[in-house]
Amino acid sequence: MINLENPKKFRALVNQAHQVAASVFRPVSRKYDRSEHAYPIELDMLASIMDGMNDGTTGEGAGAGKLKQDNGPKKEGIQNGTNMSTVLSLAELCWGDVGLSLTLPRQGLGNAAIAAVADDEQFARFGGKWAAMAITEPGFGSDSAAVRTTAIRDGDEYIINGEKIYVTSGERADCVVVWASVDRSLGRAAIKSFIVEKGTPGMDVVRLEKKLGIKASDTAAITFTDCRIPASNLLGDPEVNVEKGFAGVMQTFDNTRPVVAAMAIGVAKASIDRTRELLKQLKVKTDYRTPYKLASQLEAKLYRYEAEWEAARLLTLKAAWMADNGMPNSKEASMSKAKAGRTANEITLGCVEMLGMLGYGEDELLEKWSRDSKILDIFEGTQQIQQLIVARRLLGKSSAELK
Amino acid sequence: MAKDIQGMGLGLAVRFSGSEFARKYKLRRPAEKLAYAGTKKGFEVIGQMMAKKKAKKSEDPKMLPEPSTAGLFDLTLSEEQQMIKDTVRSYAEEVVRGLAHDANEDMKLPETYLQDIMDLGLNYFSVPESMGGAAQSYSPTTNAIIAEELAWGDFSLAYATLAPVAVANAIVKWGNQKQKEKYLPDYLAETPVKAAIAVQEPAPLFDPAKLSAKAKKTKSGFKISGVKSLVPFGGEASLYLVAARYKRRNRLFIVPGDAPGVQWQAAPAMGLRATATGTLTLDKVLLGPDALLGDDSFNFEAFMDLGQLHWCALAIGACQAALDYLIPYVNEREAFGEPISHRQAVAFMVANIGIELESMRLMVWRAAALAEAGKPFHREAYLAHILCSEKAMEIGTNAVQLLGGHGFTKEHPAERWYRDLRVLACINGGMHL
């Protein structure tokens, strides 16, 4: 039955997330934007509360560590599960602050990777830890197959060598999921992901980036020099299967792209809400009564942003709904990320523009949101990469044909 | 005894294969094939539905009901919706698309088009079961699906098919019992009803809240005057639902097409040409006491919203048609030694069409589902129309662009989609989900 309203069963969870955003994140939002690299101590308490929220109230929980394509035995009827609840609650958290949401302990993208591909033994060892994700290197970004970091098998261990950059929570997390090649002559099929625990000799956080936005979240450069890890820390299938290629490691993205889309939805909503509030004080009416074409330029712009925002939100919910119901959603996940990423950037920048100096100044958070939003159209696959994925799916083209 | 859907569908399929229309357009064989493939699946489904219904009645009343999906986010069509969708799409593909080019050029409907498309049974679905029709309940989401699938065949022909259905939908939703009993049975007759809703007026910056058409009470009924634009059917409609100012509110009046003082004059526009649009002038037209649709609970805003959503659904169908047409074209068309779809400049335009098309559909479905559930849906309809207006034209213009010079010619339907899709941002009313 067609229904595109937020499921009732997640109302309590969404409300909790909103409360956290409003009462915990917003009050310290500017503080950690100004003091980049300072650890937001407020979050430790919050993380415990979140763990409780996850394991308690809804029964199914939410968050990066729970994301999984539901391929298990078919459940009766339509499901609204963890992908949906994660998307909904994360959007609320990012309404509060994207940077702080990103640095929530145990909610890293590495946790999503572990949830998606770890076996039971690995899940038992790492499921409760905070895991960052290390893919990008100085020499490549979008072209994930160009990994130069190597992981060479040596008895019961792998020896990792290489440099990773732009590792979100790379300094704060307990461990890092590292993409490395087990045999560079075999191309992308040889790329595997490995869990490296903090403190492993040979792993060094060498730098923290200074950034345009999401300053509350640490972004680390990490080097691996003859860094030895147990062979059992390899996630997924250790065999190099040239046929299957890259699919294993890329699988994670189908689940995490709607999550990043949700972050974009959250920050865009923050801008819309605040702008609407400020315009109301200036007696600009935004009650959907004036016909669009007869509305003032300001009103019309806000309506348009709201329409775009709703579209992005619905695409994201659709992608999450598909994942919850075991439907392959690679195209829809990329659609949601493409739409939400660019829309959030346009809206947050546009709201600053609409309000002029009020939007541009640091007295309001609008300028911050417009800086924070930019990364959401870049990480987890840029706008252009999402378009490539969508185009290949629609056109039935391989990555060799449509480059 | 009321016909059940399965029986009726079978009747329709048989009638279609025997129709003059099928012979004339050499459609019998494809239609049979289609009827087989489509109905086999469709009727199996319907059969199962009926069996289930029957089985339920004999169930132990103490047994627990099936798990409810109520309150869950869900995009699954019901079995009935899926069957209707498949059937309408097949008809759009096999019949409507083939008629579109000439109908547009001729600026009129193919002679027996409205008669022939009755085989699809859409008229039955606009009348409630209690009055002999097939509609189990009033369903804006189902209506949106029908509009989309039919417009996949052709925007203009879909508009012509559904304009009378929109009148029926409005009577079902807003009319009083007397009005329903008077007008709805016509939809179950053998000949097609030509009827249309007329709201739009030929004024720049037209605001539907400030209609210049006016109605007054008279001793024996009402008197109505005004001018309405983009009214279809070349003046042949038997019935118009005309929006006019009455007692400081906007109301709808049921106006017979042949009432003295009703005049229609051809006024072609850039699109919707097959429907033969024109300007309707009402000069002190006298109406009976039952001409005012519904009572004081009539909600003009909701009426307009349902209309705009109906147009949006039509546009989604045309946009989907454009995407489906473009994909094989850009894959086959070569430039610089390879298919043009291997170039990102082309591929990204296709990707964006896919993304925005899905955006449009989800926005419209959401508003329609709220309307169906009897919940407020004005904001959602308002935003859906804004989004669809912009994206539909973007898709229309890019469809021509991707075909290059070929897109600019009448060899391809893209230029027609381009012209038809322009209407979405211009139109106010005329339809009703």
For domain B196-287, which architecture applies? Answer: Beta Barrel (2.40)
CA distances from B417 to A165, B166, B283 (A): 48, 22, 35
Looking at residue B364, its amino acid is V
Q: Would you say residue A231 has pLDDT above 90?
A: yes
SS3 A299: helix
Chain B residues touching residue A78 (CB < 8 angstroms): 69, 72, 74, 76
Cα angle for residues A217, A223, A227 (degrees, 5° grid): 120
Residue A216 to residue A200: CA distance in whole angstroms:
26
Decide if A220 contacts A172 (C-beta within 8 A).
no
Residue A237 to residue B155: CA distance in whole angstroms:
51
Structure tokens at B193: 């009803």
Q: How would you write the pLDDT of chain B (433 residues) with one tens digit per residue?
A: 444 444 344 334 434 444 555 455 555 444 444 443 443 343 334 334 444 444 444 344 344 444 456 789 999 999 989 999 999 999 999 999 999 999 999 999 999 999 999 988 888 888 988 888 888 888 999 999 999 999 999 999 999 999 999 999 999 999 999 999 999 999 999 999 999 999 999 998 899 999 999 999 999 999 999 999 999 999 999 999 999 999 999 999 999 999 999 999 999 999 999 999 999 999 999 999 999 999 999 999 999 999 999 999 999 999 999 999 999 999 999 999 999 999 999 999 999 999 999 999 999 999 999 999 999 999 999 999 999 999 999 999 999 999 999 999 999 999 999 999 999 999 999 999 9
Residue A292 to residue B382: CA distance in whole angstroms:
8
Chain A residues touching residue B77 (CB < 8 angstroms): 2
CB contact under 8 A, B73 and A312: no
Query: Where does CATH 1.10.540.10 sit in chain B?
Result: 5-50+77-192
Q: Would you say residue A292 has pLDDT above 60?
A: yes
Crossing angle between the packed helical segments B300-332 and B155-174, to the nearest 10 degrees: 160
Chain B residues touching residue A4 (CB < 8 angstroms): 73, 75, 362, 365-366, 369
Q: Are residues A142 and A206 in the same domain?
A: yes
Judge whether A401 lies within some domain: no
* Candidates B205, B341, B387; nearest CB to A311: B387
Residue B242 to residue B225: CA distance in whole angstroms:
10
Q: Which of residues 322-351 of A touch B (CB under 8 A)?
A: 331-332, 335, 338-339
Q: Are residues A253 and A353 in the same domain?
A: yes
Chain B residues touching residue A317 (CB < 8 angstroms): 73
Q: Are residues A269 and A352 in the same domain?
A: yes
* Candidates B208, B342, B363; nearest CB to A314: B363
Does A49 contact chain B (CB < 8 Å)?
A: no
Q: Are residues A138 and A175 in the same domain?
A: yes
- Which of B74, B146, B211 has the highest number of chain A CBs within 10 A, making it the mutation to test binding with A? B74
CA distances from A400 to A386, B310, B342 (A): 16, 42, 9
- pLDDT for B387-415, tens place per residue? 999 999 999 999 999 999 999 999 999 99
| pLDDT at residue A332, rounded to an integer | 97
CB contact under 8 A, A84 and B365: no
* Candidates B78, B350, B354; nearest CB to A335: B354
Residue A284 to residue A28: CA distance in whole angstroms:
30
CA distance B221 to chain A (A): 32
Q: Are residues A209 and A301 in the same domain?
A: no
Chain A residues touching residue B386 (CB < 8 angstroms): 292, 303-304, 307
B90 alpha-carbon distance from chain centroid: 16
Q: Which secondary-structure segment (H or E) carries A180?
A: strand A175-181
Q: Which of residues 190-249 of A touch B (CB under 8 A)?
A: none
Residue A87 pLDDT grade (very low, low, confident, very high; cuts 50, 70, 90): very high
Q: Are residues A103 and A71 in the same domain?
A: yes
| pLDDT at residue B387, rounded to an integer | 98
Decide if B71 contacts A75 (C-beta within 8 A).
no
Decide if A279 contacts A358 (C-beta within 8 A).
no
List the single range of A19-33, A41-55, A357-371, B349-363 with lowest mean pLDDT.
A41-55
Q: Please tell me what DSSP assigns to residue A293.
A: G
- Number of CB atoms found within 10 A of residue A256's CB: 24
CB contact under 8 A, B382 and A292: yes
* Candidates B74, B339, B390; nearest CB to A1: B74
- Which of B73, B148, B360 has the highest number of chain A CBs within 10 A, making it the mutation to test binding with A? B73
Q: Is A299 among the residues known to form the active site? A: no
Q: Which residues partner with A203 through β-bridges?
A: A224
Q: What is the mean pLDDT of residues A338-349?
A: 98
Decide if B396 contacts B322 (C-beta within 8 A).
yes
CB contact under 8 A, A2 and B75: yes
Structure tokens at A246: 């890259």
Residue B50 to residue B44: CA distance in whole angstroms:
10
Its ipTM equals 0.94
Decide if A53 contacts A45 (C-beta within 8 A).
no
Is the domain defined by B300-425 classed in CATH 1.20.140.10? yes
Q: Are residues A193 and A252 in the same domain?
A: no
Structure tokens at A337: 């990320």
Crossing angle between the packed helical segments B140-153 and B344-372, to the nearest 10 degrees: 150
Q: Are residues A259 and A370 in the same domain?
A: yes
| pLDDT at residue A256, rounded to an integer | 86
Residue A235 to residue B64: CA distance in whole angstroms:
44
Structure tokens at A156: 């019961």
| pLDDT at residue B67, rounded to an integer | 46
Looking at residue A374, its amino acid is K
Among B280, B256, B258, CA closest to B267: B280
Query: Where does CATH 2.40.110.10 sit in chain B?
Result: 196-287
Percent of chain A with pLDDT over 90: 76
| pLDDT at residue B18, rounded to an integer | 47
Q: Would you say residue A68 has pLDDT above 70?
A: no
First to last CA, chain B: 28
Judge whether A359 lies within some domain: yes
Q: Would you say residue A69 has pLDDT above 80?
A: no
| pLDDT at residue A246, rounded to an integer | 67
Question: Into how many domains does chain A fold?
Answer: 3
CB contact under 8 A, B379 and A9: no
Judge whether A187 lies within some domain: yes
Judge whether A189 lies within some domain: yes
Q: Are residues A275 and A378 in the same domain?
A: yes
Query: Where does CATH 1.20.140.10 sit in chain B?
Result: 300-425
- Number of CB atoms found within 10 A of residue B32's CB: 14
Q: Which of residues 366-385 of A touch B (CB under 8 A)?
A: 384
Chain B residues touching residue A314 (CB < 8 angstroms): 359, 362-363, 366
| pLDDT at residue A74, rounded to an integer | 64
Judge whether A2 lies within some domain: no
Q: Are residues A101 and A207 in the same domain?
A: no
Spell out the SS3 assignment of chain B: CCCCHHHHHHHHHHHHHCCHHHHHCCCHHHHHHHHHHHHHHHHHHHHHHHHHHHHHHHCCCCCCCCCCCCCCCECCCCHHHHHHHHHHHHHHHHHHHHHHHHHHHHCCCCCCHHHHHHHHCHHHHCCEHHHCCCECCCCHHHHHHHHHHHHHHCHHHHHHHHHHHHHHHHHHHHCCHHHHHHHHHHHHCCCCCCEEEECCCCCCCCCCCCCCCEEEECCCCEEEEEEEEEECHHHCCCEEEEEEEECCEEEEEEEECCCCCEEEEECCCCCCHHHCCEEEEEEEEEECCCCECCCCCCCHHHHHHHHHHHHHHHHHHHHHHHHHHHHHHHHHCEECCEEHHHCHHHHHHHHHHHHHHHHHHHHHHHHHHHHHCCCCCHHHHHHHHHHHHHHHHHHHHHHHHHHHHHHHCCCCCHHHHHHHHHHHHCCCCCCCC
Decide if B42 contacts B75 (C-beta within 8 A).
no
Strands B239-246 and B195-198: parallel
Q: Please tell me what DSSP assigns to residue A232.
A: G
pTM comes to: 0.90
CA distance A125 to chain B (A): 34
Strands B239-246 and B249-256: antiparallel
Does A397 contact chain B (CB < 8 Å)?
A: yes
Residues 6+ apart with CB under 8 A from B331: A395, A396, A397, B339, B341
Longest dimension (CA), chain B: 78
Q: What is the mean pLDDT of residues A85-94?
A: 95
Q: Which domain range does residue A54 map to?
A: 8-117
SS3 A155: coil
Q: Are residues A387 and A254 in the same domain?
A: yes
Region of B430 on the Ramachandran plot (φ > 0 left; ψ -120 to 50 alpha; else beta): left
CB contact under 8 A, A315 and B73: no
Judge whether A185 lies within some domain: yes
- Number of CB atoms found within 10 A of residue A364's CB: 20
Decide if B251 contacts B293 (C-beta within 8 A).
yes
CB contact under 8 A, A3 and B390: no
For domain B5-50+77-192, which architecture applies? Answer: Orthogonal Bundle (1.10)
| pLDDT at residue A54, rounded to an integer | 63
Residues 6+ apart with CB under 8 A from A3: B70, B71, B72, B73, B74, B369, B373
CA distance B388 to chain A (A): 9
Among B139, B20, B41, B128, CA closest to B81: B139
Does A77 contact chain B (CB < 8 Å)?
A: yes
Structure tokens at B388: 């669809």
* Candidates B354, B363, B382; nearest CB to A390: B354
Q: Which of residues 261-320 of A touch B (CB under 8 A)?
A: 288, 291-294, 303-304, 306-308, 310-312, 314-315, 317-318
CATH number of the domain enclosing A70? 1.10.540
Q: Are residues A197 and A212 in the same domain?
A: yes
Closest residue in chain B to residue A315, using alpha carbons only: B359
